[in-house]
């Protein structure tokens, strides 16, 4: 198999300036560069820059894949628009799933490496779907963060006795972007399946959110309106939803499962499936 690498970066919150585009052009003379996107592919050679530094300075999302099986997704979010305290328990070290904080941003760096390449030409356009994970996190949806923790488990980055973080609701009802995240990063689908056993169902109604909104003190509602007036581009609905979700807790379960216990559940599920397959072929 010939060597192939693809780098894609997108700017979502604001376009690149002419000066920034000139800086990027100095990095690559061949790349496709626009006010919202940097894209380049390599049959030989490599990008003459650190992708993490490019995300930190210019972009809000980055996708990388290589023909030898390496995949990488990076997301940059304004620190003021995420609940950093809620995210931190899901990122506890290792190579596969990292969270870093700068003065203005929170950066997620998710990686999957395999010695068995799964080359797919269709993955060229997948960043369009995956970038929605960023919006979900900024709305306070912690399912992508839990999936990142499962990625670390899949990669063997965590000790067997490490306990899982709070389990968010709705793991059995992943969004299209979250499903794309599972596929890109090759998170063990059996691991995702057993993890859902401790996940509550998503609320079927937005009534609790509306009650919370109606009960906000007048001065707090006025503060939200001032934010909307000061920043017309602000996704006020998403910001309100994140604030509401911050007031709720993940559904408790009797014990916080360990990595060892989750792996045992995975082994049992696979054995049950294999036995069923054997029975059906007799």
Highest mean pLDDT out of 8-17, 220-229, 237-246: 8-17
Over range 21-36, report the average pLDDT: 96
What are the distances in angstroms from CA 271 to CA 14, 264, 268?
50, 11, 5
Q: Give the span between the Cα atoms of 274 and 268, in whole angstroms.
A: 10
What's the whole-number mean pLDDT along residues 144-157? 96
Determine the length of the chain: 282
- Quick check: 23 pLDDT over 60? yes
Give which of 11, 1, 125, 116 is closest to 60, Cα–Cα. 11
The pTM of the full predicted model, rounded to 2 decimals, is 0.86
Tokens of 80: 């003021």
Q: What is the DSSP letter of 261?
A: H
* pLDDT the model gives residue 190: 96
DSSP H helices in 30-130: 51-57, 84-87, 127-130
φ/ψ of residue 101, rounded to 5: -125, 130
Do 102 and 133 touch, CB atoms closer than 8 A? no
Q: What is the pLDDT of residues 62-106, one digit of tens each?
A: 999 998 889 999 999 999 899 999 999 999 988 999 999 999 999
| DSSP 8-state class, residue 17 | P
- pLDDT 10s digits, 241-281: 778 877 776 545 446 899 999 999 999 999 988 887 666 66
């Amino acid at each position: 198999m010939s060597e192939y690498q693809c780098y894609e970066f997108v700017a979502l919150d604001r376009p690149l300036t002419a000066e920034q585009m000139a800086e990027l052009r100095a990095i690559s003379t061949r790349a496709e560069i626009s006010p919202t996107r940097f894209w380049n592919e390599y049959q030989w050679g490599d990008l003459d820059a650190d992708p993490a530094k490019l995300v930190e300075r210019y972009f809000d999302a980055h996708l990388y894949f290589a023909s030898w099986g390496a995949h990488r997704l990076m997301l940059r979010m304004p620190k003021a628009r995420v609940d950093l305290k809620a995210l931190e328990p899901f990122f506890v070290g290792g190579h596969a799933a990292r969270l870093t904080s700068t003065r203005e941003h929170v950066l997620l760096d998710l990686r999957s490496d395999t010695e068995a390449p799964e080359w797919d030409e269709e993955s060229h356009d997948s960043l369009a779907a995956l970038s929605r994970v960023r919006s979900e996190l900024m709305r306070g949806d912690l399912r992508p963060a839990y999936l990142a923790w499962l990625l670390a488990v899949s990669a063997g980055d965590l000790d067997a006795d490490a306990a899982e973080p709070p389990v968010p609701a709705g793991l059995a009802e992943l969004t299209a972007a979250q499903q794309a995240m599972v596929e890109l990063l090759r998170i063990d689908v059996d691991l995702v399946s057993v993890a859902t056993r401790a996940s509550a169902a998503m609320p079927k109604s937005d009534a609790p959110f509306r009650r919370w909104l109606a009960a906000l003190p007048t001065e707090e509602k006025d503060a939200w309106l001032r934010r909307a007036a000061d920043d017309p581009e602000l996704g006020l609905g998403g910001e309100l939803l994140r604030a509401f979700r911050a007031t709720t807790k993940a559904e408790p379960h009797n014990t916080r499962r360990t990595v060892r216990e989750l792996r045992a559940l995975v082994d049992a599920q696979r054995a049950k499936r294999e036995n069923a397959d054997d029975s059906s072929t007799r």
